[in-house]
Amino acid sequence: MARSVIYILNGPNLNLLGVREPEVYGHATLESIEEMCKIRAESLGQEIVFRQTNTEGTLIDWVHEANTKARALVLNAAGYSHTSVALHDALKAISIPKIELHISNIHARETFRHKSMVSPVVTGLICGFGTDGYVMALDAAARLIEKSPNKK
């Protein structure tokens, strides 16, 4: 069976993982998370495209691209989760399964983080499990792909 592609997109400041607020985000680097995701995707028979940007427009372009090149999307939009109507609209416009991911529990943090512009237009949400959430999101994406009638 052909492997499906899952896009894992990361938003602003996630390139600083490992040094930025380790008490909140842990000590893992984005590179180590990518490696963990590659290993998990391989075990699931999937391929990943793993990217990070600090630019909102680039993230939106990648969401559009995922709709035609991937079977599912895992998105850690970071701060854009709480502020970006444009990202909300881009996610609403695509048809593949979409999983919102946060390393920390956004509902246990500052009040401004409690509302996500992304949550209303995604298939599901994983938050608060640290970097293990990436593996959880991959597992969920693989299950959604299995259930989906669309084959890419």
User: Which entry of 7, 80, 88, 102 is annotated as an active-site residue?
Assistant: 102
Question: What's the half-sphere exposure (Cβ side, CA atoms, 13 Å) at 15?
Answer: 7
Question: Which helix (H) or strand (E) segment is 57 a member of?
Answer: helix 56-69
Does residue 102 have an active-site annotation?
A: yes
User: Which entry of 7, 25, 80, 134 is annotated as an active-site residue?
Assistant: 25
138: closest CA among 29, 42, 68, 54?
42
- Would the CA dihedral through 116, 120, 126, 128 be positive or negative? positive
Q: Which is it for strands 46-52 and 124-127: parallel, antiparallel or unpaired?
A: unpaired
For 127, other C-beta atoms within 10 Å of its C-beta total 20
Instruction: Count Cβ neighbours within 10 Å for each residue of 31-47 and write b for 16 or more, e otherwise.
Output: eebbebbbebbeebebe
Between CA 25 and CA 22 the distance in angstroms is 5
Residues with a known catalytic role: 25, 102
